[in-house]
Amino acid sequence: MNVLILGSGGREHALAWKLSQSPLMSQLFIAPGNGGTGALGTNINIQVGDFDSIKTFVLENQIEMVVVGPEDPLVNGIHDFFLENDSIKHVHVIGPQKEGAQLEGSKEYSKNFMNRHDIPTAAYQGFTAENIEEGYSFLDSLSAPYVLKADGLAAGKGVLILDNLEEAKVELRNMLESRKFGDASDKVVIEEFLNGIELSVFVLTDGKGYKILPSAKDYKRIGEGDTGLNTGGMGAVSPVPFLDAELSEKIEERIVIPSVEGLAEEGIPFKGFLFIGLMIVDNEPFVIEYNVRLGDPETEVVLPRIKSDLLETFKQVGEGTLDNEPLEIIEESATTIMLVAGGYPGSYQKGKEITGADNGGESIVFHAGTKADNGSLVTNGGRIIAITSLGKNHSEALEKSYKVASTINFEAKYFRKDIGFDL
């Protein structure tokens, strides 16, 4: 089968790595890809939002499956676009249609969905500039810290957590009236603060059957000890040690099953990933957010722990024949550490030469912000390379990743040396 992966991050490199191992794979293309994906398939210079060029490419290259990495094209309806075009509607698109993608595209939509299906989540209310006064009153009724979320997509930056009531009111005004996050904050969800530990669960579904992937925890802050600014993710571990059988069962019964069944009951087609961000409070799971894609860098630790043929599983998703048999999992621990450009998540430079990226040994070097440039490899983003290793336990796996990290170099390289420190 000819497959096109859309995206250019470490997540897409990990997908390319895993899917290219399948005996079902014929030709693999990645649009636009990065400096690493070109070794596993062919990089195509098409942006993920350029649906017309994607269509032309799909037709010219007999693509039978499109795997959508990031959320934007899903929220913008790429799957619907395929279904609405007779010449490409037979192509399997892995990623939900526009309506299902609203679970990520609108916080209020997702909270309302959770409420309709009794899925545990923080108490909340949604506000617009018209009823901002009610928003202030709602804040008065809560206790600190205050959680303010831009309703729409804000590139992972739309959540503010504030300790002070007055500051929370100022930020609510900034979001609704000064349009702090543009259209994304035309509506704001204010919710109860949940104090607990986070973990992520990934579910692959065709709208009826589902499979739960290995769990993961990512480390979002730039600084060691979870300090400093939020990033896309500085590292991840899988499995999450505190996720025991009892908690797994609660998550499946109270959250995964009602989510998949809720979509089906409401007639919302959904072929793709549901990434459920959870807060565990006193051993009880609450949903913090849904995403409709895989996480990055979680994918870089989750996929290397899957033994099953993921392309075959994707094919079942496309055909609507996904069964509920569990995936075959590798029982080792996986950790990934992200090498980033100095300055990230603030401003940083691009175009710096990278050396040693082939030094992975038994670890896996997933490229993120890299590109091939006249025979050399250069930095092309904030997050540059994710190094994933497997081991008996997290510390053994980490040790291996750190060894490789010391041999991959570029100017102003930075990485966290404490991934998994809290486990």
Closest to 384 in 3D by CA, of 361, 362, 355: 355
**What character string, x for contact with ligand AMP (CB under 6 A) and - otherwise, covers 245-284?**
--------------------------------x-------
- Which tokens is 12 given? 């897409």
Complex with ligand AMP: residue 82 or 181, whichever CB lies closer = 181
In angstroms, the CA 304 to CA 94 distance is: 19
Tell whether residue 295 is a contact of ligand GLY (CB under 6 A): yes
Tell whether residue 120 is a contact of ligand AMP (CB under 6 A): no
Closest to 366 in 3D by CA, of 333, 415, 401: 401
Q: Which does 80 bind (CB under 5 to 8 A by kind): ligand GLY, ligand AMP, none?
A: none
Backbone angles phi, psi at 285, to 5 degrees: -85, 135
Q: Which of 68, 74, 194, 334 binds ligand AMP (CB under 6 A)?
A: 194
Strand (E) or helix (H) holding 348: none
**What character string, x for contact with ligand AMP (CB under 6 A) and - otherwise, covers 286-325?**
--xx------------------------------------
Backbone angles phi, psi at 373, to 5 degrees: -145, 100
- Which tokens is 332 given? 């080792």
Q: Which does 217 bind (CB under 5 to 8 A by kind): ligand AMP, ligand GLY, none?
A: none
Tell whether residue 242 is a contact of ligand AMP (CB under 6 A): no
8 A C-beta contact, residue 18 and residue 314: no
Tell whether residue 309 is a contact of ligand GLY (CB under 6 A): no
Q: Which of 198, 224, 226, 396 binds ligand AMP (CB under 6 A)?
A: 198
Tell whether residue 122 is a contact of ligand AMP (CB under 6 A): yes
Q: Which does 332 bind (CB under 5 to 8 A by kind): ligand AMP, ligand GLY, none?
A: none
Tell whether residue 226 is a contact of ligand AMP (CB under 6 A): no
Tell whether residue 191 is a contact of ligand AMP (CB under 6 A): yes
Q: Which stretch binds ligand AMP (CB under 6 A): 127-135, 193-201, 221-229, 263-271?
A: 193-201
Q: How is residue 93 annotated by DSSP? A: E
The nearest distance, CB 196 to ligand GLY, in angstroms, is 17
The nearest distance, CB 21 to ligand GLY, in angstroms, is 23
Closest to 10 in 3D by CA, of 372, 303, 416, 297: 297
In angstroms, the CA 120 to CA 251 distance is: 10
- Tokens 């030709």 belong to which residue? 27
Listing DSSP states for 259-289 in one string gives: HHHHHHHTT----EEEEEEEEEETTEEEEEE
Complex with ligand GLY: residue 126 or 233, whichever CB lies closer = 233
8 A C-beta contact, residue 65 and residue 95: no
**What character string, x for contact with ligand AMP (CB under 6 A) and - otherwise, covers 6-45?**
----------------------------------------
- State the helix-helix crossing angle for 10-19 and 310-319, rounded to 10 degrees: 90
The nearest distance, CB 277 to ligand AMP, in angstroms, is 5
| Alpha-carbon dihedral 335, 296, 111, 191, rounded to 10 degrees | 70
Tell whether residue 151 is a contact of ligand AMP (CB under 6 A): no
- Is the Cα torsion angle 161, 165, 166, 169 positive or negative in sign? positive
Residue 168, Ramachandran bin (φ over 0: left; ψ between -120 and 50: alpha; else beta): alpha
Tell whether residue 296 is a contact of ligand GLY (CB under 6 A): yes
Angle in degrees, CA 334, 236, 196, rounded to 5: 120
Q: Which of 70, 96, 158, 233 binds ligand GLY (CB under 6 A)?
A: 233
Tell whether residue 159 is a contact of ligand AMP (CB under 6 A): yes
Q: Which does 122 bind (CB under 5 to 8 A by kind): ligand GLY, ligand AMP, none?
A: ligand AMP
The nearest distance, CB 289 to ligand AMP, in angstroms, is 4
How many residues contact ligand AMP, by CB under 6 A?
A: 11
Tell whether residue 218 is a contact of ligand GLY (CB under 6 A): yes
- Which tokens is 322 given? 């996904």
Complex with ligand AMP: residue 255 or 365, whichever CB lies closer = 255
Tell whether residue 345 is a contact of ligand GLY (CB under 6 A): no
In angstroms, the CA 286 to CA 47 distance is: 36
Sequence-distant (≥ 6) Cβ neighbours of residue 35 within 8 angstroms: 354, 357, 367, 370, 371, 372, 377, 378, 380
Q: Which stretch binds ligand GLY (CB under 6 A): 255-263, 295-303, 317-325, 357-365?
A: 295-303
Q: Which residue is nearest to ligand GLY (CB)?
A: 295
For 4, 8, 18, 45, 282, the CA distances from 380, given in Å and listed in that order, are 22, 10, 23, 15, 42
**Positions that interact with ligand AMP (CB under 6 A):** 122, 147, 149, 159, 191, 193-194, 198, 277, 288-289
